[in-house]
Amino acid sequence: MKRVFWMLATCLTILSGGQALAEEPAKILVTAKRLACAYSQGMNAVFTPQGRVSLKPPLDPNTPGLTIAITDRTKNRAVLEEDALETPGVLMVSPAGLSVMARYADGGVTMVTVYPVHAGASDNLLMVSSRHGAGSEPQVSQRYGFCRPGQETPLPAEPPAPPPAKKSGH
């Protein structure tokens, strides 16, 4: 009985157009202030001394994801948030998707593109993140995953006002 109820609730949500599914993916990318993204799979590639490319084992899909914070659409600014690392980047939005390109202090570059396409019947949008690392040997990785509109970071609460001073009654 629970299974039938769950299936009925799911169908009604889809048919009634739950908020996230009702929105067009392109509209989400044009209006979102934050996108929370998770990786599902990925690959690393390294160059051999002979100039060939060697693929390393697949990347761990349990790697923490990233968040794209749109900071200023008029100036095309965004921030890639990866754990404690926040890297400013350039925002590009077109009918093909939303992309952020960021350059790290070590000279490496990351390009994240979120496509205006839902993954199946979910409200997840398809995403790819490519990193071109700098250093003594070029390092390249490409991760695939999904993004969805994220919650804006709430401002810290203001501390409560101190209680009024008591008057002494001598």
Tokens (6 digits) for 137: 């040997």
Q: Exposure of 72 by Cβ count < 10 A (0-12 exposed, 13-18 middle, 19+ buried)?
A: exposed
- The 10s digit of each residue's pLDDT in 86-126 is 999 999 999 999 999 999 988 899 999 999 998 888 889 99
Q: What is the pTM of this model?
A: 0.73
Fold that domain 23-149 belongs to in CATH: Lipocalin (2.40.128)
* Whole-number Å distance between alpha carbons of 116 and 94: 10
- The 10s digit of each residue's pLDDT in 115-147 is 999 888 888 999 999 999 877 778 899 999 999
